[in-house]
Amino acid sequence: MRGIEKRLGEFQAQGVVPVAISVDPPNVSEDLRRKAGLTFTFLSDPKTDVIRRYDLLHSGGGPEGHDISRPAEFLLDRSGVVRWENFAEDVRVRARADQMIAAARTLQ
């Protein structure tokens, strides 16, 4: 998240808008945004409706066995079609901002 924020200007230059999604309720996301100085949009899916629809549910993956989202990134073009995607194999290894900006450059 901080990697994206740090290079937000480059995403904007490519015309790409980052959007973060998790089970965190809005107030938790707002806390994170404020503490970490994140300015892009955070969406909340506490009931995992969208996470399930995207088949990204990590059942019991959260503390006390809460259902959460597995880490994943999708780059959509202007019509909402997936042009690049990444699924972390290790929760500690996320897509790097470099990779995502390189993918953003390929968008028409």
Partner 1 sequence: MEDISQKPSHRALWLGLLFTMLGPISNGLYFLGFPASAVVWITVLLPAVGLTLVLIGLRRAFGQSPYRDKVGGAIAVALSALVLAASVGVFVLSRRLPQPSTGTPQMGQRVPDFTLPDSAGNPVALSQLLAGSNAGGPPKGLLLVFYRGYW
Burial classification of residue 15, based on how many CB atoms lie within 10 Å of its CB (0-12 exposed, 13-18 middle, 19 or more buried)? exposed
Residue 7 touching partner 1 (CB under 8 A): no
Q: How far is the CB of 9 from partner 1 (least distance, A)?
A: 14
Say if CB 57 and CB 77 are below 8 A apart.
no
Q: How far is the CB of 81 from partner 1 (least distance, A)?
A: 5
Q: How far is the CB of 106 from partner 1 (least distance, A)?
A: 10
Candidate list 2, 37, 85, 102; residue touching partner 1; CB under 8 A:
85
Residue 9 touching partner 1 (CB under 8 A): no
Residue 96 touching partner 1 (CB under 8 A): yes
User: What's the chain's length in residues?
Assistant: 108
User: Which long-range contacts (C-beta less than 8 Å, at least 24 apart) are formed by 7-11?
Assistant: 7/97, 7/101, 8/39, 8/40, 10/97, 10/101, 11/100, 11/101, 11/104
Residue 21 touching partner 1 (CB under 8 A): yes
Q: How far is the CB of 37 from partner 1 (least distance, A)?
A: 13
Residue 33 touching partner 1 (CB under 8 A): yes
